[in-house]
Structures are given as C-alpha cells and as structure tokens.
Structure 1
Amino acid sequence: MVQHRLNAARHQQETLPSFAPVTNRHRARGPLYAAIDLGTHNCRLLVARAGESGLRVIDSFSRAVRLGEGLHHSGKLAEAAMERTITALRACVARMGLYELHSHRAIATEACRRAANGMDFIARVMHETGLNISVISAREEAELALAACNSLLHGHGGTTGRGLLFDIGGGSTEIAWARIDRNARRHDLSGYVSLPVGIMTLGERYGSNIFTDAGYHTAVEEIGSVLRGFDDVHCITREIARGNVMLLGTSGTVTTLASLAQGQGRYERAGIDGSSLSIPQALDIIGNLRRGGMAGLVRNPVIGPDRARYLLPGCAIFEAIATTWPMANVTVADRGLRDGLLLRMIGDRRQHGGLAPLPFSLSLHHHMEHRVST
C-alpha cells in the first residue's frame, strides 16, 4: 500500500511541498534507503545511501508532533496528537515519493508501546497513509542507538573498552552499556535499562514544579536511584575509575547543551556531532538555564518557545546521569534511531547480496536487560 502511495506521489510532485529536488535521486551512486522514527515527541525521516565511512544523507525531515501529549495522565494517545502525527507521516510519505527507494522502514517507540490505544493508532496509520510501522522494544531502541553511534564508539581510545550511551527521548530514556572491540570494529551490548521518563513524561508529571529547586532536585534523585541500581549490576563506576569508559549522549537535550557550550547563535549540527562536551560546563549551563526560568528559555535563540517547555525535564535526566557516573566529558552525537535503521538496512543488503561488508559490525548480543516500570 505504501508503495502505491509512493508511486502516486511521484506523479503528483507539482502538488507537493518543495522539500527536495526530484533530481536528487539521479545523483545517488547507490541504492537509497529511508527510515522513519516516530517518537513520543518528534516524527523524523531520513533518506540516505551508503557512503565511504558511514551514511550519505540525501534528505531529512523532522516535526514536533507531541504524540505522547497527555499520555501520562490518560494512558491513551489523544485525538489531536494522533491527527498531528498522521499529518506529519503523510508528509513523510510524500517526501519519500520523490526518490526511488531500495527499501524503507518505519518504527514507533515509547508512546505507542505504552498507550492503551497504541496498536489501534498503528492500524489507523496503515489505513490512512499506507505506512507499516513497527512498534519496537526498548532493547531494540538501545541497539539502534548504539549502531547509529558506531563510528564514534570506535574512533577513540585503545583497542578495547566500554561504552556508556544514553538517549533521552520524549517518553523514555535508554541507557546502553557496551563492550567495545576496536580491532574487530564491533561492539556487544552487555546490558541496558529503559527508564519510562523522557522530556514529555517527566514534564507532564512535574509540570511547573520542574522550575523549582525542590521539584528539579526530586526529579534528579528519582532518576538517579534507578541508575544506581543499574550501576550495581554492571559495576560501571568501577570501570569509570579505571579510565575505561567512553560516555556518549544522543538527544536534543545534550545537543542543545553542546550548542550553548560552544556559544552558537543558532544550532549548527556540523559543530556538534562527534564533539566533546565538558560535563562540569554543562552542569553550569543547566544552573544558568534554571535561574533564567521559562522566560529565559523562550528568549534563547538556540532553544526558543517550541522547546522551552521540555528542556529542563531533559536537563534533569542529563544531570542524574552525569552525577551517577561522574566523568569529565561526554561525546555528543547528533544522530539517532533513523541512522541505526539505515545502517542496518544497508548492512542486511550487503550481507545477503554478496557485497563487501560495512567497515564495522552491527552484530549485537543481549546479555542482560532491564525494564523499569512506574
């Protein structure tokens, strides 16, 4: 069904928004792939092909749909949120129709996992847009986040080590603990924890209290207590003391903090992805943001009114991570599940098509998993 809609989109390009020139597809030197990540807060599309050292991005799209708005209180996806999301997904289908795609995949995460009507919404999306969206597990989220950050994991340090990755989402936060073998260009997932708190769920739970000292510190302590339990299982603090751990962060929260640390007048991805953010500096920035309140967040050109409501909840999650596992720096990744999906699709084609493999392994092993409920 989606292929029919993609074909129709190619014949109706004059009615589509000018997202990208149709001629882009003729410039690609290899098969094109598309990945859609439908999160609790954002709907994102990425179109890319394999490059020499990773992905060659052809087109991208992102819209804040707030699919999980009200979910914490009602347990269901709201009608207005579903309508906003379907509108964004239609735009994704139209945009995908500009390209001759080898394959595509669409996934949904915490909001659809948690909502009582989540699967009904997925069926509705299929009926109205033709997109077959898979609701993935928290474990696969951790895997895809690691896969997306593969080049960063293997670009630093000695031949072996550990990677601690966090992904602060809209509805949940994933923490992945990985063993890195840089000689073999692979990593193994030793364990993960999925916290049912993200920028939207924490923001809705605390409301305006997140702007108070008491509310903010309560949120940090609540999250930290869960992280300490994960630390007890995996002895992460011990590995940090040995200088054996690389901390990676991927989310709008950490990329925003990195942008502010660099003094960017407006967000510029090129200077952020793969950069190193001083954690003491980041915590100082958070302190300044908290003192400025909502008015200060809205006025900040890197943040703006659309994101101001959810930045402090993200900062509370970041601070809980940074104080549970004190390290000097975090490597910042402006990449996410879409990148991991694309790399996986490209890797599968190479494996089954008899082509040269990717210059790294996406094979992940699952030794231990944690799911935290509230």
Structure 2
Amino acid sequence: MLWSTRNEASQLFAAPARQVVRTMSEAPRAPGAPSGRRRRSPEETSCYAALDLGTNNCRLLVATPSPRGFRVVEAYSRIVRLGEGLSQSGQLSDAAMERSLAALKVCAEKIRRRKAIRVKAVATQACRGATNGPDFVRRVHEETGLKLQIISPREEAQLSVAGCMSLFDRQQDAALVVDVGGGSTELSWVDLKGGGLDAKPRQFAAWKLPIKAWLSIPVGVVTLAERFPEGEQANPVWFRAMVDDVKARIETFPHAEPMRKVFAEGRAHLVGTSGAITSLAGLHLGLARYDRNVVDGLWMNRTDCDAAADRLLALTSPERAAEPCIGADRADLVLAGAAILQAVQELWPCSRVRVADRGLREGLLLSLMSDQQRRPRRRRRGGASKKSEAA
C-alpha cells in the first residue's frame, strides 16, 4: 500500500524517557500546608487511554495531559501472539484469541479503574488480515466492553510517526521511521524541515504531519520468522535470506525516491520503533535488565546494529532466551526484527539510528488529547458546566 502526501514539538511530545522521568506518586502533604505548585486544570487531571492490539503485543497507556505532552499513569504490555499461524491459515487461532482476550480484560479493568474520559483502542495487521478478524473484534466488545477499531496501514504509519516526533534530530533534513510490527512493517519518510512538526496542541493532527511517502509491507517479526523457520541453529545464510526477502518488498517502492539525495548526503537518520529493535539496543548496551529510561532515545550507528545482529547469530535460541533484554517470548523473533532493520539500512543507508520505545500508542494519546482540546465547550443556560464527554 502506497501513499504520498500533500519539530520536535516540545509542547506536544514528552522528551525521551531518560531525559524526563515523572511519576504520579508523590509524597503526601501535611493538611493546610501550601503545595508550592499551581492548581491543575481539569484537562490535566483527566485520564486518556490508548490501546494497541498488534500481531504480537497488546499494549496500553493511560495518561494525563501536561504542558510538554502527557504524563503516563498506567502502562501495560503483554506478548499475546494474536497472529501466530495466521500466515498459514488465514485465521486467528482459538488459542491466540484466548491469550489476547485475557490481556484485553486486564486492560479494560485498568481503564475502568483510572476512569478514563476518552479511550481509543485499535487493532492492526492481524485483525486486518484474518478472515475472522471482525468476528473477534465483536467478541472483544461483548466480553470486555472495549470497542476495537481496525485501522488502516496509512493511519498506523501516521500515528507511529506522531508518537516518535520528540526523537527527531531537527538539525537534519529528513528521517525514516521504521515501525516493525508482528505482522507488518511501516516505513515513513518525514521531511524535518516541513510544516506540521511545530503545531500547537490545539492544532495537532496526525494527518497533517510532513510525511512525504510511506510504505506498508505485510511482513513483521512473526510472519517473517514463520516464513523462515530457524531450525537447530541460526546461521548467516538463513539470516541473509530473510534480509533479501524484505529488501525485495521495499526496493521497488518509487514514491520516496525524491528524498534519496538527502539520505545519500548524510542529512537524514532512521528512527526504529519495535520490541525487536529495543531488544537489540539492550543487547548492545549489555544491560543486566531492560531499562526503558536508558533505551528510549538511544542513538546507535550502523556498526552497532551489525555487531548486535552478529552477536545474536552466534547464540542458540536458549541462549537468546537467557539474555535479559530478549527473554523467551522474543527469542525466536528478535533475529527477524534485526533482518528487517538491516534490509532497510542497506536500501536507505544512514549512519545513525535512534531507538524508540514509543510509537503508535503515544500517537493515539496525542490525537485524543488534541481532539478533546479542539472541541467547543458547550454550556447550559444559566452558566451550568459543560456536559461531560463519554470515552
């Protein structure tokens, strides 16, 4: 699917995690003591919820608005492998749906407990591609109350770019956002000198972002790993086959070619958002346990990425599972993610990659909050307060 369209906005987007870490739990104040802070507006104390049900993960963020974007008050992530076996059968399996429903019930309870005023729950490639995807969405609503919306690849790409905007290097001219999912990969070529990146909160809209071209391929870490079973031991020939398969799906895409010169002259960088890429970053750093505050916003160069992939190739699947930043749930998928990243790097060479432990959910939250701010405030006669808006 193709599309061509018609910075760091600090007031909209939270800074990289390792730069700003805020929590909602603060020390209690003695009765009558001055707070030393201004009173928060109703918009700042209202909770918004964004849920992303992907081919591999179920992820939830609940947050309140803040002057610089939003403050997360609840986060949840569970690997559910909704798309397991989908590439062979064309349907979501009973076991995969049960795993996903269990995670969605947890999400629904967290949303209810936080009393979110607006909720956006989306499903991506697995539900898009499965013949029983719409039936599953109806079942989710019946059993959890959540209204999942199956979004298009175009909207998925736009929201992923929106969620990563605070990670763009505004000294450069362009960025290529690579969103590696379980069942699809979205690539978005962004003009960092174009309009839309400095929009004020009330003017923000994901569809106005300066995305010059985007491409969605129906290949993610789950589908690629299923297409190329690892066997007893990973090896360079097997890994190369995965890289070449992905390259063949990207190299004929013509709509990003006007930006080729910017990349060739070193005036662009990549942004990689996926669990596989953050796992590569954790491996590169040698972390004893995964730490989002260190990984999110990390810069890696091409040599770093290649070295991490080579290190993974030298490990058996049990050894990869023992790595603290990979674990058993990603042991059979992380090399597929590395192959997708390498395919993109070979076709669109960049010396730097910025790692993003953020993406679609953050874009959803920003869209929800800006949409709420733009809504006209209607008051009842006699000065009564406006009607509350349902999620």
Aligned partner of 1:265 among 260, 266, 288: 288
CA distance in 2, matches of 1:232, 1:134: 28
Report the counterpart of residue 180 of structure 2 in structure 1. 168
2:170 aligned with 1:156:
yes
Given that 1:36 and 1:45 are in contact with CA atoms closer than 8 Å, whether structure 2 keeps it comes out as: yes
Q: C-alpha offsets along residues 277-319 of structure 1, whole Å, 9 cap, x if unaligned?
A: 1221111110111011213212212212221011111111111
CA distance in 2, matches of 1:189, 1:156: 15
CA distance in 1, matches of 2:180, 2:224: 11
2:89 aligned with 1:74:
yes
Report the counterpart of residue 111 of structure 1 in structure 2. 126
Given that 1:289 and 1:296 are in contact with CA atoms closer than 8 Å, whether structure 2 keeps it comes out as: no
Identity percentage of aligned residues:
39
Which ranges in structure 2 are unaligned for 5 or more consecutive residues? 1-23, 26-39, 200-208, 378-391
2:275 aligned with 1:252:
yes
Task: Look up the SS of the partner of 2:329 in the other structure.
Answer: helix
Report the counterpart of residue 224 of structure 2 in structure 1. 202
Task: Look up the SS of the partner of 1:50 in the other structure.
Answer: strand
Task: Look up the SS of the partner of 2:296 in the other structure.
Answer: coil
Shift of the 341–232 alpha-carbon distance from structure 1 to 2, 3 Å rule, reads: closer
CA distance in 1, matches of 2:106, 2:376: 31
Which ranges in structure 1 are unaligned for 5 or more consecutive residues? 1-19, 22-26, 355-374
> Shift in Å at residue 232 of structure 1?
6.7
Name the amino acid aligned to 1:198: G
Task: Look up the SS of the partner of 1:230 in the other structure.
Answer: coil
Given that 2:194 and 2:210 are in contact with CA atoms closer than 8 Å, whether structure 1 keeps it comes out as: no
Report the counterpart of residue 318 of structure 1 in structure 2. 341
Structure 1 segments, 4+ long, off by >6 Å, are none
Given that 1:171 and 1:198 are in contact with CA atoms closer than 8 Å, whether structure 2 keeps it comes out as: yes
Aligned partner of 1:139 among 154, 157, 162: 154
2:328 aligned with 1:301:
no
> Shift in Å at residue 77 of structure 1?
0.2
Aligned partner of 1:52 among 43, 67, 73: 67
Report the counterpart of residue 358 of structure 1 in structure 2. none
Name the amino acid aligned to 2:295: I
Report the counterpart of residue 112 of structure 2 in structure 1. 97
Given that 2:212 and 2:256 are in contact with CA atoms closer than 8 Å, whether structure 1 keeps it comes out as: no
Which is helix-richer, 1 or 2? 1
Deviates more, 1:173-182 or 1:142-151: 173-182
CA distance in 1, matches of 2:122, 2:255: 32
CA distance in 2, matches of 1:211, 1:173: 22
Aligned partner of 2:244 among 221, 224, 230: 221
CA RMSD after TM alignment:
2.3
Q: C-alpha offsets along residues 93-152 of structure 1, whole Å, 9 cap, x if unaligned?
A: 111111121201100000000001111111111111111100000000100001101122
CA distance in 2, matches of 1:353, 1:59: 28
CA distance in 1, matches of 2:275, 2:263: 25
CA distance in 2, matches of 1:236, 1:222: 23
Report the counterpart of residue 355 of structure 2 in structure 1. 332
Name the amino acid aligned to 2:100: T
Deviates more, 1:286-295 or 1:338-347: 286-295
Task: Look up the SS of the partner of 2:266 in the other structure.
Answer: coil
CA distance in 1, matches of 2:249, 2:259: 14
TM-score, with structure 2 as normaliser = 0.80
> Shift in Å at residue 51 of structure 1?
1.8
Report the counterpart of residue 364 of structure 1 in structure 2. none
CA distance in 1, matches of 2:376, 2:354: 34
Report the counterpart of residue 13 of structure 1 in structure 2. none
Report the counterpart of residue 366 of structure 1 in structure 2. none
Task: Look up the SS of the partner of 1:348 in the other structure.
Answer: helix
Given that 1:231 and 1:237 are in contact with CA atoms closer than 8 Å, whether structure 2 keeps it comes out as: no
2:258 aligned with 1:243:
no
Given that 1:278 and 1:329 are in contact with CA atoms closer than 8 Å, whether structure 2 keeps it comes out as: yes
Name the amino acid aligned to 1:319: Q
CA distance in 1, matches of 2:193, 2:370: 19
